Amino acid sequence: MSNVLEFPYCELPDVQAEAQNTSIEDIPDFTLAINNASRYIDSYCRRDFLYHDNRSIPLLVAPSWCAENVIFIPRPTIELTKIELSDDNGITWTQVDPVHWTLVKVDGAASSRIAATFDWQPLGRALPRQIRLTGQFGYAKAGIPVGRTAENFNPDSVPSPDLPAEIRTACTVIAAVRSGKYRKDVISPDGQSRTITIRSIPDDVVKMLDGYRVSFL
């Protein structure tokens, strides 16, 4: 069982507080549950909430991201430096002059948009035009905390500071439930207190994820 968080969307203290459980023996279970919950969110939302460095290897735009003259990117754009179009065979790439496109970034948004003065996928072409984007996308990695050094800090072991609050909350609750260690005291109809294990993800948590779910692939 892994004791290391890998690209998590919440941290161990989050889940311990949610489950009201700080037992040292349960830390490995919580850690595994956080990793699994994070990947579950990726699968459910059909996207991830990580950092993507496409400065050296450009991001290839999926045809379903294009609608007339707008590209809908299912992640925030941190920096966009270049847009290139190819012929149908993807052999010859031509850079688009910046005067012909506008990047729309919204603080805290789950996506970003690029609007052009022309149609990215004009009708009558045998195949959709291929588009690739050079830049940085997604959610920036955490910086090195005070008192730590690059040698003893792995930014991939903590959530991005830019992660949407709903994603962090959802990951916390899902991990607590899936760990099997999430227990709460409830009052039964006869007035007696008893402890139950929470095994179902609340509907409001699923609704949080629905707001970030990509409706197209």
Cα–Cα distance measured from residue 49 to residue 39, given in angstroms and rounded to the nearest whole number? 10
213, burial (CB in 10 Å: exposed 0-12, middle 13-18, buried 19+)? middle
pLDDT of residue 110: 84
- Residue 110 in 3-state DSSP? coil
The whole-angstrom separation of Cα 165 and Cα 108 is 10
3-state class (DSSP) for residue 123: coil
Lowest mean pLDDT among 126-130, 138-142, 158-162: 126-130
Q: What is the pLDDT of residues 144-162, one digit of tens each?
A: 877 777 778 888 999 999 9
Section 115-141 average pLDDT: 83
**Of the candidates 46, 57, 109, 103, which has an alpha carbon nearest to the alpha carbon of residue 80?**
103
* Number of continuous H segments (helices) and E segments (strands) in the chain: 4, 10
Cα angle, residue 83 at apex, residues 78 and 89 outer, rounded to 5°: 135
- What mean pLDDT comes out for the span 77-105? 89
Tallying the residues shown for the chain, one arrives at 217
Q: Give me the pLDDT at residue 153, please.
A: 85
Query: Where on the phi/psi map is residue 94: left (φ > 0), alpha (ψ -120 to 50), or beta?
Result: beta
pTM: 0.88
DSSP 138: E
For residue 20 the two structure tokens come to 């009201």
Q: pLDDT of 1-26, one tens digit each?
A: 568 999 999 999 999 999 999 999 99
The strand pairing partners of 66, in sequence order, are 71
Q: Give the containing element (helix H, strand E) for 132.
A: strand 131-138
Predicted confidence band of residue 88 (pLDDT cuts 50, 70, 90): low
Burial of residue 3, with CB atoms counted within 10 A of its CB: 0-12 exposed, 13-18 middle, 19 or more buried: exposed
CA distances from 107 to 7, 77, 104, 164 (A): 22, 10, 10, 11
Give the phi and the psi of residue 59 in degrees, each rounded to 5: -80, 125
pLDDT of residue 216: 62
Q: What residue has token string 């496409």? A: 54
pLDDT band at 125; cut points 50, 70, 90 = low
The residue written with tokens 């889940």 in the block is: 15
Q: What CA–CA distance (Å, rounded) separates 81 from 178?
A: 41
Provide the pLDDT confidence category of residue 31 given band limits of 50, 70 and 90.
very high
